[in-house]
Amino acid sequence: MAGIIWFIPLLPFIGFVVALLLGKRFGGLGSKLSTVILGICILLSFYSVYLVKVNGAFSVEMSWYITDNLEISVGMLADGLSTMMLVVVSVVSFLVHLYSMGYMHGDSRFWLYFAYLQLFSASMLGLVLANNYLQMYIFWELVGLCSYLLIGFWYEKQSASDAAKKAFLTTRIGDVGMMIGILLLFLSTGSMAFSDIFTMAGNGDIQPAILTASAILLFCGAIGKSAQFPLHVWLPDAMEGPTPVSALIHAATMVAAGVYLVGRSFPLFSSSQQAMMVVAVVGAFTAIFAATIAVVQTDIKKILAYSTISQLGYMMFALGIGAYVAGLFHLMTHAFFKALLFLGSGSVIHATGTQDITEMGGLAKKMKITTWTFVIGALSLSGFPLLAGFWSKDEILGFAYGSQRYVFFAIGAFTAFLTAFYMFRLIFVVFAGKQSHASAHAHESPKAMTIPLIILAVLAIVAGYIGAPFINKEASFGEFITGGMHIEEVEFNFIPMIISVIVALTGILLAYLMYGKKVIRTDWFYRYVKPYYRVLVNKYYMDEFYSKSVIRPGIKLANLVNWFDKRVIDGFINLVGKVTVLISKGVHIFDTGVIDGFVNWTANETYNSGKRLRLLQTGNISGYAIVMFAVLAVYVIYLIIRAAF
Amino acid sequence: MQYQLAPDLKLIYFLAVSAVLFGIGIYGVLTRRHLVHILLSIELILNAVLINLIAFSSFSTPDKMTGQMFAVFVIVVAACEVGVGLAIILSIYRRRKSVDINNMNILKW
């Protein structure tokens, strides 16, 4: 029954083809079919989890092409990590499909949207199931393509099409690094398969320098895809896409692919101290960097986008310090509650028609389901005790504390504080307080949108329990996901747990005092540290920095190259063309004059001589007879003379 | 059948008669304008040739009749030829009301 996992990516791909070819004609049918397909994928995913749980990891493989010294195969690898991702991807994707049926209703390219979603689901499921780097890279680029298509789905808007290009190009930068990393690994090991490479890395068969270099290059891909500093700039702009897309691709699944890559390559990374350090530092810096920006943003989706970047950084630094289980556990819980938050924000945007939180307010009375589910998501994200985010975040902090990496612990705790603060700033501004003009006409969203919210809210509460510390170790999430791999472990400790609860509650309380009760002036920060505030509002001037340092020189270089192309290359080619024309003119003269002349001369001469010769034919029979006898006579005379002498 | 020629009857006499006949025939072909005359002159040439054939045959191989046999064949063929020739001449006459060779000059460019 192992072969059934081929169908997990294949089914949505079939759905994509069907929706693409027939969707336009049959309208809403494509969306229903897509949703049903994802439903089947959920069942298959759970079935594969069951298979892994019972029989252990398994894989199916077949040859793609073989040459003398190279065999490339395609295969599906189902182990704890990939089946966990399968469940996350298929569940979130299913719910987003369901939600989109309400959210995108009436869009002119409704059918195309579902075709893209199907393609994305197929690619993402294929990505997590890949058993070698080449296959993973192919799917990695495919999800990037889907991201591009869906960010720019409303391409009539200039900002959306710009954002799509930005996302694609920015992630490409990381992908190039990843490709070099894969090739480097291939050159040093002669294989693309995870199993071969990890075995060799574990045995120390790869030179340490190459190991570190290739791990860091792979991490470049993760930096691009998971929007880590310094390639994080595309993710906030990617919010131009439809909100369900933001929830699926830019919060729950695709951006987590970078974390998945590091998690999948963990045996490789853990063999290199330096690579782990790079991952940890980049992750930790991104976590706190993005969290500070999120504090001052006023666009509801941008806040969530920066929050996503920050949380992805959290996962990265967890993996970087060796907290393999905790990082991937956080990936899973984050996928659920961040998808919930994005879908909730989509519901809010749907109702109010604006994304600016300062134009909202008092929505709690109008939209009960949205409000409550959103609050659950926010609590979960903030690490409120006993919700999903609490368990996973606590595990990361506990590991950092337990392994005595206090700097990372401090950064994590401070980020957790900021997270709680900005999430509840958002909640108090949007849902509490006076009703604004925009929210006066708001109403609860249709059932297709609220049902996914409720399901995700339930998941955001309970998803953490499978990895909670009091669960029996044999049946735990960690045991399932490591699959026998040796991972550093730390003793469970109450101190980091208490600290994380305290910082989360402090953040919520501060947000309440500032934006709920309004006992602390909301502009004190603006007033007292104005320069830093300005820096934050402008997102650390990263876009401006890239614009000045990369884009403008890039455009200048492009102009220069263009000039060179036009003047030098084209000039040379034009010169060649002109010379050729001249030569052919000469050849033309020779041709018409000499060659044709000779041929024509022959013909003319034949004609003229014929014209003269025909005069011999007088038609006078006596004349002919005279000639005849004269010739005969001459011949006879000749014979006589010859006989005589 | 053996037969003997008179001993003073030499080959050159036959050849001379043949040559004179041939010359008359040539002259007739070249100078006559009437088609029938030309046809008759051609017959003269043919007869000159036949005399030659028979003469050579009689003097070289007196015991065989090859020359004579050949002459008989040529006479038969000549009779046929004359028949066809006269038919053509008649046809030309019907069409053009003339058998003058100078009026027949369409055999040219």
Distance to chain B for A604, nearest Cα, Å: 19
Residues of B in contact with A617 (CB under 8 A): 107-109
- Residue of chain B whose Cα is closest to the Cα of A611: B109
Q: Would you call A617 an interface residue with chain B, using a CB distance cutoff of 8 Å? A: yes
- Which residue of B lies nearest to A629 if distances are taken between CA atoms? B26
As a whole number, mean pLDDT of residues A274-299 equals: 89
Question: Which residues on B lie below 8 Å from A619 (Cβ)?
Answer: 104-108
- Disruptive mutation site among A617, A622, A632 for chain B (greatest number of B CBs within 10 Å): A622
- Tell me which residues of chain A, numbers 366 to 385, contact chain B at a CB-CB cutoff of 8 Å: none
Is B108 close to A629, i.e. CB distance below 8 A?
no
What would the pLDDT profile of A411-424 be if each residue is shown by its tens digit?
988 999 989 988 88
Mean pLDDT, all residues of chain A: 86
Interface contact B29-A625, CB threshold 8 A:
yes
Tell me what percent of the residues of chain A surpass a pLDDT of 70. 97
Contact with chain B for residue A625, Cβ under 8 A: yes
Nearest to B107 among A619, A625, A629 (CB): A619
Of B26, B30, B106, the CB nearest to A619: B106
Specify the pLDDT at position B2: 56
The terminus-to-terminus CA distance of chain A in angstroms comes to: 116
A639 in contact with chain B, both atoms CB, cutoff 8 A: no
Are B63 and B31 contacting, i.e. CB atoms less than 8 angstroms apart?
A: no
pLDDT of B49? 92
Residue B104, chain A, CB below 8 Å: the answer is yes
Residue A612 above 60 pLDDT?
yes
Both tokens of A279, joined, read 């991952």
A616 touches chain B (CB under 8 A): no
Of A614, A621, A629, the CB nearest to B26: A629
CB within 8 Å: B30 and A629: yes
Tell me whether B29 touches chain A (CB under 8 Å): yes
Q: Give the Cα separation of B109 and B104 in Å (integer).
A: 14
Residue B75 pLDDT: 92
| Confidence band of A525 (pLDDT split at 50, 70, 90) | low
pLDDT by position in tens, chain B (length 109):
556 667 778 889 999 999 999 999 999 988 888 889 999 999 999 999 999 999 998 888 888 888 889 999 999 999 999 999 999 999 989 988 888 887 777 766 5
Asked whether the whole model's pTM tops 0.80, one would answer no
Give yes or no for B26 touching A (CB within 8 A): yes
DSSP label at residue A549: I
- Alpha-carbon gap, residue A384 to A427, rounded angstroms: 15
Helices A368-382 and A406-430: crossing angle in degrees, nearest 10, is 170
Q: How confident is the model at residue A631 (pLDDT cuts 50, 70, 90)?
A: very high
Does the distance separating the beta carbons of A615 and B29 come in below 8 Å? Answer: no
pLDDT at A193 (0 to 100): 85
Q: Over 70: is that where the pLDDT of A1 sits?
A: no
Q: Which of B26, B101, B109 is closest, CB to CB, to A621? A: B101
Query: Would the pLDDT of A472 be above 60?
Result: yes
Residue A615 at interface with chain B, using a CB cutoff of 8 Å: yes
Express each pLDDT in A547-573 by its tens digit. Answer: 888 888 888 999 999 999 888 889 999
CA distance A630 to chain B (A): 11
pLDDT score of B108: 67
* Contact (CB<8Å) A618/B105: yes
A578: distance to nearest CA of chain B, Å?
54
Q: Which residues of A touch B107 (CB under 8 A)?
A: 617, 619, 621
Question: Which residues of A fall within a CB distance of 8 Å from B33?
Answer: 622
Asked whether residue A332 carries a pLDDT value surpassing 60, the answer given is yes
Q: Do B101 and A622 touch (CB under 8 A)?
A: yes
Does A619 sit within 8 Å of B29, measured CB to CB? no
Q: What is the CB neighbour count within 10 angstroms for residue B13? A: 11
Q: Kindly report the nearest CA distance between residue B30 and chain A, in angstroms.
A: 6
Across the A:B interface, residue pairs with CB atoms under 8 Å apart total 29
pLDDT band at A471 (very low <50, low <70, confident <90, very high): low
* 8-state DSSP, A190: S
Predicted local confidence at residue A608, as pLDDT: 93
Burial class (CB in 10 A: 0-12, 13-18, 19+), A633: exposed
* pLDDT tens digits, A15-52: 888 888 887 777 677 788 888 888 999 998 888 888 88
Kindly report, residue by residue over A569-600, the tens digit of the pLDDT.
899 999 999 999 999 999 999 998 899 999 99
Question: B108–A625: do the CB atoms touch at under 8 Å?
Answer: no
Condensed to tens digits (0 to 9), the pLDDT of residues A381-409 reads 888 888 888 888 888 888 888 888 888 88
B30, B106, B107: residue with CB nearest A626: B30
Higher pLDDT among residues A523 and A203, named by residue: A203
Name the DSSP class of A157: S
The alpha carbon of residue B107 is apart from the nearest alpha carbon of chain A, in Å, by: 4
Chain B residues close to A611, C-beta within 8 Å: none
- B36 to chain A, any CB pair closer than 8 A? The answer is no
CB contact (8 A) between residue A621 and residue B30 = no
- Long-range contacts for A433-438 (Cβ within 8 Å, ≥24 apart)? A433/A361, A433/A362, A433/A515, A433/A516, A434/A361, A434/A362, A435/A361, A435/A362, A435/A363, A435/A365, A435/A366, A436/A359, A436/A360, A436/A361, A436/A362, A437/A359, A438/A352, A438/A353, A438/A354, A438/A359, A438/A360
Respond yes or no on whether ipTM tops 0.95: no
What distance in Å separates the CA atoms of residue A382 and residue A40, rounded to the nearest whole number? 33
- The dihedral sign for the CA sequence A575, A576, A579, A584: negative
The full DSSP string for A400-433 is HHHTT-HHHHHHHHHHHHHHHHHHHHHHHHHTSS
Taking the C-alpha atoms of residue A28 and residue A18, their distance in angstroms, rounded to an integer, is 13
Q: Per the CB < 8 Å rule, is A621 touching B104?
A: yes
* Per-residue pLDDT at B109: 56
**Residue A526: pLDDT band by 50, 70, 90 thresholds?**
low
What pLDDT sits at residue B20? 94
B33/chain A closest Cα distance in angstroms:
8
Q: Residue A554 corresponds to which amino acid?
A: G
DSSP 8-state class, residue A445: P
- What integer pLDDT is reported at residue A560 of this predicted model? 92
Residue in chain B nearest A612 by alpha carbon = B109
